[in-house]
């Protein structure tokens, strides 16, 4: 789980490096859940300066390469304006609402709890 926003803390970066190291060792990352301010990572509209790394875009690329399931909490995202109105209405059904980066989907907190039940380890960044 990524719990903090890319502009406030390093969470999304640390989780990214950890996921890469875990995948390189042959482990499976069944899901990455973005909660609290972490939902900002999946926001399509965020554009950091060109000489800075865009961690959201990097997660997108890693998801495409490794088939990762990137889930933005729908309630937390709606509260912070990360999901647009239309996406908010469609909630769980949308594979990639327009306001999210490719590879991200919006879903409920149940996805986090389900991961906690199914995975051998749930790690919060």
Partner 1 sequence: MATPARKRFLWMSRRAPHGSVQAQEGLDALLMAVAFEQPVSVVFLDDGVYQLKRDQDPARIGRKNFCAGFPSLGIYDVHDIYAERESLALRGLREEDLLMPVRVVDSAALGALMEAHDVVMSF
Partner 2 sequence: MLHLVNRSPFEERTIDACLRVAAPGSAVLLYEDGVYAGVRGTGVAGRLEAAAREMRVCVLEEDLAARGLQDAALVPGVHRVDYDGFVELAIEYDSVTTWR
With respect to partner 2, which residue has the nearer C-beta, 28 or 86? 28
What lies within 8 Å, CB to CB, of 19 at 6+ separation is 29, 32, 62, 68
**Contact partner, 96, from partner 2, partner 1, none, Cβ < 5-8 Å per class:** none
User: How many residues touch partner 2 (CB under 8 A)?
Assistant: 19
Q: How far is the CB of 119 from partner 1 (least distance, A)?
A: 9
Q: Are 56 and 43 in contact (CB under 8 A)?
A: yes
| Whole-number Å distance between alpha carbons of 17 and 15 | 6
- 73 belongs to the catalytic site: yes
Catalytic residue among 62, 71, 72, 73: 73
Binding interface with partner 1 (CB under 8 A): 35-36, 75-76, 79, 108-110, 112-114, 116-118, 122, 124
Residues annotated as catalytic (active site), given as ranges = 73
């Amino acid at each position: 789980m990524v719990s903090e926003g890319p502009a406030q803390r390093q969470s999304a970066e640390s989780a990214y490096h950890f996921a890469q190291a875990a995948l390189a060792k042959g482990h499976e990352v069944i899901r990455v859940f973005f909660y609290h301010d972490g939902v900002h990572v999946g926001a399509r509209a965020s554009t950091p300066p060109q000489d800075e790394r865009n961690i959201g875009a990097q997660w997108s690329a890693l998801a495409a390469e490794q088939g990762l399931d990137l889930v933005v909490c729908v309630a937390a995202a709606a509260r912070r304006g990360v999901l647009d109105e239309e996406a908010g209405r469609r909630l769980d059904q949308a594979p990639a609402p327009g306001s999210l980066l490719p590879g991200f989907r919006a879903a409920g907190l149940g996805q986090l709890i389900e991961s906690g039940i199914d995975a051998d380890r749930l790690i919060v960044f």
